């Protein structure tokens, strides 16, 4: 394991940038950090992480980062218990299946899943987030909600994400959940997803704990800063740049696989 100053600075910077941007845009940090960890360290002469190591580091980092989000909303009254039970239970199962099963997949297979999720994420960033009237009488299709959460859990568990970038548009556009409830509740569901993802990665030995620790510290500092700034500025330009980056990464991954 590399303990050099260069290694520490690069990994901290990647964790900081990824968490800052994800905090600003309200998307899952792992969809950003996966390509950063995969491609940036070798540019500084550092040993490249494998796809399994990147997904493992992302999984454990998301677990700690999501705790802060849930804690902030604990007294808000916006955490919808039924949604958390149905979607959280399904995504916990899915993320464990995905993360544990990823240990038996090839590097290319893990990258293919990321490439697919990245394209979906880039597109979903521009789907209009329809505002649903805030009210106390929230009803939703429990079978549909659980099924979608299970699918999101399996896919995101494989790449070490928690699925927040997919959960938010699904809850807003498909399940018609009010916006404020969606934001708070999706954080709780993401936290539950990260438990299954982390356990699966730990059991299959896919986590490099030293870089994961550095990224956890960076995310705890950067995510709240990004969220504060994101509330005060128009992030459309950054959103476009991020979607282009994610899309370009997906294309590069597909090209590498198909060569």
Angstrom distance (rounded) from CA 240 to CA 51: 26
The larger pLDDT score, comparing residue 163 to residue 6, is at 6
> What pLDDT was estimated at residue 235?
61
Q: How far is it between the farthest Cα atoms of the chain?
A: 56
What tens digit of pLDDT does each residue of 111-128 get?
889 888 888 877 876 776
Mean per-residue pLDDT, 43-67:
87
Mean per-residue pLDDT, 176-184:
82
Helix 30-39 to helix 5-25 angle (10° resolution) is 150
User: Which range (101-105, 143-147, 161-165) has the least confidence?
Assistant: 161-165
Quote the Cα angle for 164-166-169, to 5°: 105
Mean per-residue pLDDT, 142-155:
95
- Which residues, other chains included, contact 170 with Cβ-Cβ below 8 Å and sequence gap of 6+? 148, 152
Confidence band for 258, pLDDT divided at 50, 70 and 90: confident
User: Which range (98-102, 133-137, 203-207) has the least confidence?
Assistant: 133-137
Angstrom distance (rounded) from CA 192 to CA 171: 16
Burial class (CB in 10 A: 0-12, 13-18, 19+), 228: exposed
Confidence band for 2, pLDDT divided at 50, 70 and 90: low
What does the radius of gyration of the chain's CA atoms come to, in whole angstroms? 17
Residue whose pair of structure tokens reads 């604990």 in the numeric block: 74
Burial class (CB in 10 A: 0-12, 13-18, 19+), 137: exposed
- Average model confidence (pLDDT) across the chain: 84
Q: Of all residues in the chain, what percent carry a pLDDT higher than 70?
A: 90
What tens digit of pLDDT does each residue of 8-39 get?
999 999 999 888 877 776 666 777 788 889 88
| 152 in Cβ contact with 162 (< 8 Å) | no
Angstrom distance (rounded) from CA 87 to CA 46: 40
């Amino acid at each position: 394991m590399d303990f050099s100053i260069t290694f520490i600075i690069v990994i901290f910077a990647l964790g900081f940038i990824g968490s800052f941007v994800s905090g600003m845009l309200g998307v899952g940090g792992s969809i950003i950090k996966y390509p950063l960890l995969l491609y940036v360290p070798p540019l500084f002469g550092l040993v490249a992480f494998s796809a399994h190591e990147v997904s493992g580091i992302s999984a454990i980092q998301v677990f700690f980062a999501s705790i802060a989000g849930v804690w902030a909303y604990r007294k808000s009254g916006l955490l919808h218990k039924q949604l958390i039970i149905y979607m959280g239970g399904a995504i916990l199962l899915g993320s464990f299946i995905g993360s544990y099963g990823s240990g038996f997949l090839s590097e290319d297979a893990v990258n293919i899943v990321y490439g697919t999720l990245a394209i979906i994420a880039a597109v979903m960033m521009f789907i209009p987030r329809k505002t649903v009237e805030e009210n106390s009488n929230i009803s939703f299709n429990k079978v549909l909600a659980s099924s979608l959460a299970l699918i999101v859990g399996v896919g995101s568990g494989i790449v070490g994400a928690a699925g927040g970038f997919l959960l938010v548009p699904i809850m807003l556009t498909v399940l018609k959940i009010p916006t404020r409830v969606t934001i708070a509740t999706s954080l709780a569901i993401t936290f539950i997803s990260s438990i299954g993802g982390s356990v699966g990665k730990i059991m299959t030995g896919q986590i490099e704990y030293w870089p994961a620790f550095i990224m956890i510290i960076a995310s705890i500092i950067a995510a709240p800063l990004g969220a504060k700034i994101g509330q005060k500025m128009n992030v459309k330009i950054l959103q476009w740049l991020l979607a282009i980056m994610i899309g370009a990464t997906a294309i590069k991954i597909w090209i590498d696989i198909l060569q």
